[in-house]
Amino acid sequence: MKIKVTMDSACDLTPELLAKYNIGVLPMTIVCAGREYKDGVDFTADDLFARTEGGDACTTSAINVAEFEEFFGAILKEYDAIIHIDLSSEISACHQNAVIAGADRPVYAVDSRSLSSGAGMLAVDAAIMAAEGLDAETIAAKLRELTAKIETSFVIDSLKYLHRGGRCSSVAALGANILKLKPCIEMKNGKMDVGKKYRGSFDINILQYVRDKLQGREDIDYTRIFMTHANGVSDETLENVRKTILECGPFEEIHGPIAGCTISNHCGPVTLGILYHTK
């Protein structure tokens, strides 16, 4: 069985991983100043931050059924089946639309119950299983079990972008900014929840966040970890995060994807999260 693994653009994998595992990406839509763009195609996170800091309002839009139908139809001319991964159905209509578009076709749409590279990890898992010869139905079933074993969290420097996107009240945003709080946002049961609130310098607190998540654990799968970040995080901070990760555990692979427009539009330019499997 020839299987193609696909995902929406909010699943945030590096170009190298996309190429290595032959994973297809369907871009989400970004609406800015009344004009539509495609995430990662004709509009990047750099473009988004330049426009929003200049006063333009940008919003994200789920991939619609017609877009999925066209995307799946083209792939099925060459492949026998599709495993498609979407960000959590609790925060986007993408999964529901993919299910509708894939009905009566050999399309297995999987709700990641996660976002960003947490969902992207499932796409990598699917590609590995497909290469091992598993059939599409078995892969989809295994992926749905794996969703409970993915830990996704990130720390943001400012609540301004979450507030703009309607996911944070004005009072909460103001209070966090006054107190210089850096909240940790965690995915729980497919939804975003607030975890520990760090206070002070982002560059210092992000290293403590990594230790809080990884130190003293015996349930972590050390095969691969993602330190997914927005493009406002410095190279020095990224290198310090990488060193801290390795101090906490013998990870075989460390990947550093840059968050696309969909995630960046809600988190802002100074954001970083670590995403990994548990056993």
Domains along the sequence of the chain with CATH: 3-147 (3.40.50.10170), 150-278 (3.30.1180.10)
The pLDDT, as a whole number, for residue 172 is: 43
Encode burial over 130-162: b for 16+ CB neighbours within 10 A, e otherwise.
beeebebeebbeebeebbeebbbbbbbbbbbbb
Model confidence at 168: pLDDT above 90: no
- Which residue bears the tokens 């032959």? 22
Average pLDDT of span 32-61: 88
Model confidence at 180: pLDDT above 70: no
Confidence of residue 52 (pLDDT cuts 50, 70, 90): confident
Confidence of residue 195 (pLDDT cuts 50, 70, 90): confident
Highest mean pLDDT among 16-20, 190-194, 198-202: 16-20
Instruction: Give, in degrees to the nearest 5, the angle at Cα 127 between 82 and 256.
Output: 120
Confidence of residue 251 (pLDDT cuts 50, 70, 90): very high
Average pLDDT of span 246-258: 97
Model confidence at 161: pLDDT above 80: no
The pLDDT, as a whole number, for residue 174 is: 38
Higher pLDDT, 77 or 164: 77
Model confidence at 162: pLDDT above 70: no
Task: Provide, rounded to the nearest whole percent, the portion of the chain with pLDDT above 90.
Answer: 76
Q: Max CA-CA distance within the chain?
A: 57
Model confidence at 165: pLDDT above 70: no
The pLDDT, as a whole number, for residue 53 is: 80
Model confidence at 94: pLDDT above 60: yes
Instruction: Give, in degrees to the nearest 5, the angle at Cα 144 between 138 and 150.
Output: 130
The pLDDT, as a whole number, for residue 169 is: 38
- Which residue bears the tokens 């965690």? 186
The pLDDT, as a whole number, for residue 170 is: 36
As a whole number, the mean pLDDT across the chain is: 91
Q: Is 168 helix (H, G, I), strand (E, B) or coil?
A: coil
Average pLDDT of span 119-130: 98
